[in-house]
Structure 1
Amino acid sequence: MKKSLLAFAALASITGAASAQSSVTIYGVVDMGLKVENAGSGTRLSLDSGNQSGSRIGFRGTEDLGGGLKANFVLEAGFSADTGAMGATNQLFNRQSYVSLSGAFGEVKMGRIQTVVYSNASVFDPFGDTLAGDSARIFNYGGSRTDNTVNYSYSAANGVNGQVAYSFGEVAGDNSANRTMAGAIGYAAGPLAVVLTHQNTKNATGSDAAKTTLLGGNYNFGLLQPFVAYAINKGVGTLDTRDALIGLNINVTPNDVIMTSLMHKYDKFADHRDATQIALGYTHNLSKRTNLYTSWSRLSNNYSVAYKADRNGSADNLFNVGIRHKF
């Protein structure tokens, strides 16, 4: 009996020492809501997953290597809560999948990682790239995540932050084909947050590239929090557009936020290909992990374009209401 107790005590001691050096966390989001949308071909009523945040389950881990150096990993899989289906076919960890080293120098990640524009959406978008006011409905993000990526990020004590990323195209004989290079520099301290991002993605042959440069930010006065953003998109084929956003969050209480935004896309290459969206939303926190939400938007297209609509010139009217739980 004494030997068993001693062995258990020794095992507990070893386990405790190990857990002090490393940890693994299981986390996730389940987001479900009612969605009503008319994109020009009649009203569609549905129960949808991921209106505010993509439903997901993830594994996050870190190991203290000493001297301020840490090894980290994130494996994150998206799913549809309304059906239980995987978020992407034949891709388990479709949201994020990377390993990293971090320390006083910053952090270096390798794997499938969020793009620099997408990772900074909450700086310039009052909806934070969510709900019916999602800025990606008008703005050209160049995708939300990139595979085969090396990303370096750094945040200074004075609020200055930045990141650079390189995504390998992995095309034999042409290292520039399908390649993405991106960077961002920003400032976040006190009530002010601003960011300047740039992303350059080569096409499949390496002969042309889609380029997006975005400048945006917000200032939190307390009750009122205005947002602004402007983006220039050029590149592959005839791409030559400008995206603009002005928005306002009304922080009614610590648990209640009203979100508004007005966005416009201007096509410099061709006439009658502009689009405008107006959006309104509201979130209420029931707790630190659970909130209710509702939002509405109307995206109007010129007669030669169909952003989010079923046909050219149609408008997309979107409404949702639901609940999000984080664990």
Structure 2
Amino acid sequence: MDFIADRPMGGLAWRRIAWCGLASLVACASGAAHAQSAVTLYGVIDTGIEYVTNVGPKRANSVHTPTLTASLPSLWGVRGKEDLGAGLSAVFVLESGFAPSQGSLNQGGRLFGRQAYVGLSGRWGTLTLGRQYSQIFWAVLTGDTLAPNIYAAADLDPYLTQPRVDNAITYSFTSSGLTVGATYSYGRDAVDSAPAGGCAGQSPTDWRACKSMSAMVKYDAGMWGVAAAVDRNYGGGGAGSPLPRSSQTDTRAVVDGFVKLGNSTIGAGFLHRINHGAQTATVFDATSNYWWIGANYMLRPDIGLDAQFGRITVSSDASGGSVIAARAMYFLSKRTSVYVTAGHVFNERNATYSIDGGVVPPASTPLPGVSQTGAMVGMRHLF
């Protein structure tokens, strides 16, 4: 599949085109998107060698290969579009994430754990059913210039890079740069881990248990763009779950945007979270405020530089933190690149944020209050 232009591109433009392939949007700017009826195979293979400090109780240093993400997560997928006439099309996506170092499946071992949906698209919009992204993902993509890079501000809230929901129905509509979308899940994720928002799936006895809903509005003018979204997950996972009861909710609201200035793209955002599951003897609802700012700069057509800073403050127990991250990438061709990236997380007294966004926690988690540094060299190929 050729969804990349004939020469390397920089900044947020490159990242958005890459994510079109990753997220399998029906409206992606690929040759297949304009065909009357087409099925397209696409994918990413991205891996390297990583070094992380202060891992675990012994504060060990680790050299390993990440499994979850690198500069982009490794994946393959199939998407299709059939022209049904009168402006109506049938669309589908099946997308699988994997770890190149092991050849194993990510997303809890599911064959199509990233996305699996089918639907209809027309002048009135697109309606799809299946496993899909929450709307907050598309909103954050607007202003986050670095994630899902292994080191990024999103390490302070890993949910933002993988907010997928099972048993979901999604509606979206785009016109003249304006996009609105809404997603409702009858029972999100019975497979993913708690940090990824896992729950017990559909419940026949509790209408609220494990439900999820989100809504988004964004505007992209080409040289600048803004987006806003709200995402709410209901509890019901039972004992040991971050949200044991269905009456508990975890809600995020975000606003972000970007602006292009010559060869640079600057992005920033702010997110407010109210988590009813984070309860202690003195704190009922843990609220947090998270903000980030980052930039891409094309030094040359074949060299891209990225940097980002993020900060999260939490209402309880000094459990906030900060992340600084950077990346330099050399584009060998329109599909193949090599890169070096590094990052550092500053943990407050009771915080355990890990700089290592490439493995599922707690594999690289530091002790409370301990900061952590990571560095990686890698290679990426898009097909």
Report the TM-score when normalising by structure 2: 0.76
Helix, strand or coil at the partner of 2:147: coil
> Take 1:172 and 1:79, find their aligned partners in 2: how far apart are those partners?
32
> Take 1:72 and 1:211, find their aligned partners in 2: how far apart are those partners?
30
Matched-pair contact (CA < 8 Å) for 2:139–2:256: no
**Partner residue, 2:273:** 233
The alpha-carbon distance between structure 1 residues 130 and 198, as it changes in their structure 2 partners (threshold 3 A), is: same
Instruction: List aligned pairs for 1:276-287, cutoff 5 A.
Output: 276-287=322-333
**Partner residue, 2:366:** 310
**Residue 275 (1) aligns with residue 321 (2):** yes
> Take 1:290 and 1:301, find their aligned partners in 2: how far apart are those partners?
35
**Partner residue, 2:336:** 290
**Residue 85 (1) aligns with residue 132 (2):** no
**Partner residue, 2:210:** 178
Q: Give the drift of 1:179.
A: 0.6
Q: Give the drift of 1:136.
A: 4.1
What is the identity, as a one-letter code, of the residue corresponding to 1:43? N
Instruction: List aligned pairs for 1:16-35, cutoff 5 A.
Output: 21-35=36-50
Q: Give the drift of 1:139.
A: 6.4
**Residue 98 (1) aligns with residue 98 (2):** no
Q: Give the drift of 1:51.
A: 0.4
> Take 2:296 and 2:42, find their aligned partners in 1: how far apart are those partners?
28
Matched-pair contact (CA < 8 Å) for 1:121–1:129: no
Q: Give the drift of 1:212.
A: 0.1
**Partner residue, 1:195:** 227
Helix, strand or coil at the partner of 2:105: coil
Deviations 1:74-111 (A, max 9, x none): 11111111111122445211111000211111111111
Instruction: List aligned pairs for 1:82-231, cutoff 5 A.
Output: 82-138=101-157, 141=160, 143-157=162-176, 159-169=177-187, 170-204=202-236, 205-231=245-271
Q: Give the drift of 1:307.
A: 1.1
**Structure 2: 5+ residue runs without aligned partners?**
1-34, 188-201, 237-244, 278-284, 355-364
Matched-pair contact (CA < 8 Å) for 1:141–1:212: no
Helix, strand or coil at the partner of 1:48: coil
Matched-pair contact (CA < 8 Å) for 2:322–2:347: yes
> Take 1:306 and 1:21, find their aligned partners in 2: how far apart are those partners?
51
Helix, strand or coil at the partner of 2:44: strand
Structure of larger gyration radius:
1
Instruction: For CA contacts below 8 A with separation 6 or more, give which structure has more relative contact order.
Output: 2
Percent of aligned positions with the same letter in both sequences?
A: 27
Aligned with 1:37 (options 47, 52, 66): 52
Helix, strand or coil at the partner of 1:121: helix
Aligned length: 306
Q: Give the drift of 1:134.
A: 4.9
The alpha-carbon distance between structure 1 residues 217 and 55, as it changes in their structure 2 partners (threshold 3 A), is: same
Hey, which of these two has a bigger chunk of strand by percent? 1
Q: Over aligned residue pairs, what C-alpha RMSD do you find?
A: 1.8
Deviations 1:200-235 (A, max 9, x none): 111113211100000111101122222111000003
